[in-house]
Structures are given as C-alpha cells and as structure tokens.
Amino acid sequence: MSDAGFVASVFDMDGLLVDSEPLWQVAEVEILGPLGVPIDPHACRQTKGMFVNEVTAYWHERFPWTSPSTDEVAVQVVDRVSELVVERGVLQPGVHDAIELCRRHGLDLAIASSSQYRLIDVVLEHFGLAGEFAFVHSAEEEPYGKPHPGVYLGAAAKLGADPTRCLAWEDAGAGVLAAKAARMVCVAVPEPAERSRPAFAIADAVLGSLVEVGDHLYDRLVACRDVPAAGSEGLIRPH
C-alpha cells in the first residue's frame, strides 16, 4: 500500500541509472564525425536528453550530409551505444538505494526514457534490472522527446497513475523540464558540470548522487507536492 504522497515513481535511464552519457558521446563522435559534423564530447551535451532521431536531425540541420539518412544514422548510433554498454557500461552509485526507497514506500516503478526500446532492453537485462520496473515507456512512442512531457505522461498512463502523484528521477535539464511539465515532483541528479543550468532550478531536489536518497529525503519530497511550482520553499539541496 503506497502512502498518501506518491503512488508511483518514474525513472529516466541514460545518465541516471547507468553512466551512459560518455558512451553516447563516443558513439556520436565515431559516427557523426566521418559525416562531416565537427563534434566532440562537449558539443554532445547540446543534445543531452533528446530522442536519438532528434539528435541526428539536429546535427544534420547544422552540418548537412548526403547519405545515409538521419534515421539510418540514428540506428548506427544506438547499435554502437548498445555495444558500449555491454563492453564498459556501469551503474551509477546508489541506483539500488533509490529503487529500494521507492519499493519500501509501496510505489510502482516505470522507466521514461529518450532511448529506444531496444537499448532500454539491453541496459535493463545487462544490469539485472528488468524485473524492477512494471512498465517501460520510450520517447519513440511519442511525437516529441524531452523536454516535451509526453514520455512522462505516457509512463504515468501505463502505470494508471495520476502524474501529480508520481515521483520522477532525472539527470538532464531537458528531462527535468519534461517531468515538471507533466506536473510530477522531480529529483535531479545532474553532472557537476551541469548543475548551474537553469532547468535544475525547478527541480524539487538536486542531489550529488543517488547515494543521498533516504526516508528523510522522501518525506520532504512528499511535502513538495503541496508547494506551488513557481515557489522555492520545497527546494532541497545536498548538505
């Protein structure tokens, strides 16, 4: 039985559960570079949180190439990331702590990811997490990726949960915008280099890592449901 505050918890995947952002950077540089895109790991951050087809379209608009198509390039990128996840991927610290916290409070769990289902499946199977989530929802089912709220609303619908009673977990600014637009309480775990981005100012909690989760944090997040979205009274920062 869930408590009065939340009934479900919705997790992003890339960068939050698995340290995959460096893997995406490697794949994008390897595949987009030979097509004439002057891309490096820093430039990859410009599209963090986007659906992969939006990423390839973004770079094609700025540095057009003749072939293959942007959709075909997206397939190549996902294929390479899948290989890299198996070869060198690692879980982020505290993943099991966050999942256990939600389980302890009776929440149903789902994934809301900008990645394609085939990559989500690789990650969840490789790290033994497939049984932890009742549902998985990918932005490939939505007309728009994050920061549009569709992927979070879709995950809530699969769970049969009111979005306002869902707790979202994110690492990207675009994801925080998406979760808050879906009217969810949102925990952000940004990379240190991205903590100053404006989007994180609207998160209800900003943590250094998932290792910081605990019942005290959870109780304060429940209280955030009653704080107006434009207010800052419920904002939680790590000590």
pLDDT tens digits along 180-211: 999 999 999 999 988 999 999 999 999 999 99
Q: Give the separation between CA 94 and CA 25, rounded to whole angstroms.
A: 23
Task: List average pLDDT for each run of 10 residues in the chain, which is 239 residues long.
Answer: 77 95 94 95 85 93 96 96 96 97 97 94 96 96 93 98 97 95 97 91 96 95 69 41
pLDDT at site 230: 41
Catalytic residues: 12, 14
Q: Give the separation between CA 221 and CA 43, rounded to whole angstroms.
A: 34
**Contacts for 196 with CB less than 8 Å, ≥ 6 apart:** none
All structural domains of the chain: 8-19+90-224 (3.40.50.1000), 21-88 (1.10.150.240)
Dmax over CA atoms of the chain, in Å, equals 56
- Alpha-carbon Rg for the chain, nearest whole angstrom, is 17
Nearest to 47 by CA among 36, 56, 38: 56
Amino acid sitting at position 70: T
pLDDT at site 224: 85
Burial of 141 (0-12, 13-18, 19+ CB in 10 A): exposed
pLDDT at site 227: 56
Residues of the chain by 3-state class (helix, strand, coil), percent to 5: 50, 10, 35
pLDDT at site 50: 83
Cβ pair 186, 180 in contact under 8 A: yes
pLDDT at site 237: 46
Q: What is the pTM of this model?
A: 0.87
**Structure-block tokens of residue 227:** 């704080």
Each residue's pLDDT tens digit, 133-150: 999 999 999 999 899 999
pLDDT at site 51: 85
Read out DSSP for 162-188? -GGGEEEEESSHHHHHHHHHTT-EEEE
